[in-house]
């Protein structure tokens, strides 16, 4: 009898370990349920090692419009977009539509096999609490090894901050633990990324409002560095054009840097 109870306890413990922490699971579900239901203005800026802006793109994303019209560039490097640049973003929207239509039979938008997002690589079942207070919980979330060609799990530390009151994500961060060398060509000596979520409408869960990333290293011993900033503002609640296909966007696909 004791052995049977012991085995039962072991199985229950294993099952508990394999389950996503409830508050973290709730936060992820909210992100999934509310994804792709907002139009917003996005500003993306890239800077070099000296902090000089090398690229700045301001665009309006509206998932309620036909796919070719969902990405509308407003300004590129301080100027009105050219005809070729407008066509580029129209094609980006068309590709999105093609992916949505292809996924209509399965109900899930397929991830790119070449580049999975940070969110898709997070192993939520193995998340552990690192900090906790009355308002929030911080989880350290290991990265999956399978299909992960860009963020070696042993090299990066990923944390997710969750609001206890809202049971929603506040931020996700990734930091390089140790220098990373790839195929003796590129060496990354430092790197970090950060995603912020904020409430844009009290009736709905927080939305992604800011992404920051930076990295420094070398390629063939030549120093390189880059910083990236992205802001989303002027949110407007809309009905997704993709609703006619009854397609669910990947839960954590949008979390990336």
What digits encode the pLDDT tens for the residues 159-202? Answer: 999 999 999 999 998 887 766 555 544 444 556 788 899 999 99
Is the Cβ–Cβ distance between 73 and 254 less than 8 Å?
Answer: no
Q: How many CB atoms lie within 10 A of CB 255?
A: 25
Please tell me the predicted confidence (pLDDT) of residue 50: 78
What percent of the chain clears pLDDT 70, i.e. is strictly above it?
Answer: 72
Task: List alpha helices for 19-137, DSSP H.
Answer: 22-34, 83-103, 118-121
Report CA torsion sign: 195, 199, 204, 210: negative
Residue 63 is encoded by which pair of tokens? 């998932």
Tell me the average pLDDT across 231-237: 96
Is the Cβ–Cβ distance between 171 and 163 less than 8 Å?
Answer: no
Please tell me the predicted confidence (pLDDT) of residue 212: 86
Identify the top-confidence range among 66-70, 113-117, 216-220. Answer: 66-70
The closest alpha carbon to 74, from 254, 253, 233, 257, belongs to 233
Q: What is the pLDDT of residues 21-38, one digit of tens each?
A: 899 988 888 877 777 899
Separation CA 210–CA 1 (nearest Å)? 56
Q: What is the pLDDT of residues 120-154, one digit of tens each?
A: 888 899 999 999 999 999 999 998 888 777 677 88
Give the end-to-end CA distance of the chain in Å, rounded to a whole number: 53
The residues near 203 (Cβ < 8 Å, ≥ 6 apart) are none
Place of tokens 């093609």: 98
DSSP 8-class letter at 42: E
Identify the top-confidence range among 10-19, 104-113, 149-158, 205-214. Answer: 205-214
Residue 50 exposed, middle or buried by CB count within 10 Å (0-12, 13-18, 19+): exposed
Please tell me the predicted confidence (pLDDT) of residue 197: 92
What percent of the chain clears pLDDT 90, i.e. is strictly above it?
Answer: 40
DSSP 8-class letter at 114: S
Q: What is the pLDDT of residues 59-84, one digit of tens each?
A: 999 999 999 999 999 999 999 999 99
């Amino acid at each position: 009898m004791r052995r049977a109870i012991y085995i039962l306890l072991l199985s229950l413990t294993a099952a508990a370990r394999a389950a996503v922490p409830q508050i973290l699971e709730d936060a992820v579900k909210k992100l999934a349920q509310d994804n792709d239901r907002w139009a917003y203005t996005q500003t993306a800026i890239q800077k070099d090692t000296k902090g000089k802006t090398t690229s700045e793109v301001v665009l309006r994303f509206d998932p309620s419009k036909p796919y070719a019209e969902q990405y509308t560039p407003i300004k590129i490097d301080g100027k009105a977009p050219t005809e070729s640049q407008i066509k580029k973003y129209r094609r980006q929207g068309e590709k999105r539509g093609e992916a949505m239509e292809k996924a209509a039979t399965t109900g899930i938008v397929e991830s790119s096999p070449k580049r999975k997002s940070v969110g898709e690589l997070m192993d939520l079942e193995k998340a552990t609490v690192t900090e906790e207070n009355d308002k929030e919980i911080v989880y350290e979330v290991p990265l999956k090894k399978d299909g992960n060609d860009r963020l070696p799990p042993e090299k990066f530390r990923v944390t997710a901050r969750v609001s206890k009151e809202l049971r929603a994500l506040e931020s996700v961060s990734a930091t390089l633990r140790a220098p990373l060398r790839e195929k003796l060509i590129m060496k990354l000596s430092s790197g970090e990324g950060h995603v912020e979520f904020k409430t844009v409408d009290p009736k709905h869960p927080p939305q992604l409002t800011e992404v920051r990333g930076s990295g420094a290293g070398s390629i063939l011993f030549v120093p390189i560095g880059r910083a990236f900033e992205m802001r989303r503002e002027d949110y407007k609640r809309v009905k997704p054009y993709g609703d006619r296909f009854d397609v669910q966007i990947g839960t954590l696909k949008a979390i990336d840097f």
